[in-house]
Amino acid sequence: MRREATRKATRSTISTAASFVSVPSAFAAADPGLRNAIKLEFKTIFSPGSRRDLDLETVFSTDKILVDLLGADPDALDARKIAADCDLVKKFVAERPQAAKKLLEIFHKDSPDIDEAFGVVREAGLTEEAAVRAGGGLIGLIVLLVVIVAAAGCAHTKPHKKPDPNPAQ
């Protein structure tokens, strides 16, 4: 008898009124040509527990990250580093498959424990700094994987021409 796996519902659309901003200092060890590829979502919210009408604060979202393909310099992709990253990730999922699953589960929580998630990746040697020390740098791998998935996914949609960023006046 075949056992059906239970699956959690996943979202198929995202609507956001926030801004996605690169934080190069968060990836200081990354190649300078890749530091701006990863964008975190920042949004302004009413400060919890505030007694003033317009007491606002800026927070970052833990459930959305943008990979900006134009924020990555193609010359910064290094085959040797990407191969080293693949080895690091392969070792992690082969030796610690439950930890790999746990990472995503942490981010599925209403209030993800970022310190817990960071502890998992630090222990596995999967921080950007550790990957660079091991001869890689995970952001290049991420950018390449997103480009591959985008090329495959976009093959099923109607192509569009990018708008001219400097239209004639």
Extents of the domains making up the chain: 19-154
Rounded-to-integer distance, Cα 104 and Cα 8, Å: 12
Take residue 104 and report the two structure tokens written for it: 């995503």
Q: Which one has a higher pLDDT value, 165 or 20?
A: 20
- Among residues 96, 93, 76, 95, the alpha carbon closest in space to that of 136 is found at 76
In the predicted structure, residue 95 carries a pLDDT above the cut 80: yes
- pLDDT category at 51 given cuts 50, 70, 90 is confident
pLDDT of the residue at 59 = 84
First vs last C-alpha separation in the chain: 68
Length of the chain: 169
In the predicted structure, residue 165 carries a pLDDT above the cut 60: yes
Mean pLDDT of the chain: 88
pLDDT of the residue at 5 = 59
pLDDT digits (tens, 9 = 90+) for 54-90: 888 888 888 889 999 999 999 999 999 999 999 999 9
Q: Which one has a higher pLDDT value, 123 or 58?
A: 123
Rounded-to-integer distance, Cα 87 and Cα 74, Å: 22
Highest mean pLDDT among 5-9, 73-77, 165-169 belongs to 73-77
pLDDT digits (tens, 9 = 90+) for 17-42: 778 999 999 999 999 999 999 999 88
pLDDT of the residue at 99 = 95
Whole-prediction pTM: 0.80
